[in-house]
Amino acid sequence: MKAPAKQITTQFFLISSYLAGMIAVRGLGYQDFLYLTPFNLLLTLGLLVWNHEPRSSGLWQFMLLAYLTGYFIEVAGVGTGAIFGVYTYGEVLGWKLWGAPLLIGVNWVLVVYIGNEVLNRWLGDRPLIARAALGALIPVALDWLIEPVAIQYGMWQWEAGTPPLQNYLAWYAVSLFLSGAYQTWIGGALRNQAAPLILVLQILFFIILRV
Q: What letter does residue 82 receive in the DSSP assignment? A: S
For the chain, the average pLDDT equals: 90
This prediction has a pTM of 0.92
Cβ distance 110 to 44 under 8 Å? yes
DSSP secondary structure string for all residues of 161-181: SS--HHHHHHHHHHHHHHHHH
d(CA 25, CA 153) in angstroms, rounded, equals: 10
So what's the pLDDT on residue 1? 56
d(CA 170, CA 176) in angstroms, rounded, equals: 10
Specify the amino acid at residue 206. F
Position 112 confidence tier, pLDDT thresholds 50, 70, 90: very high
Q: For the segment 149-165, what is each residue's pLDDT rounded down to a tens digit?
A: 999 888 999 998 899 99
Q: For the segment 50-70, what is each residue's pLDDT rounded down to a tens digit?
A: 999 877 888 999 999 999 999
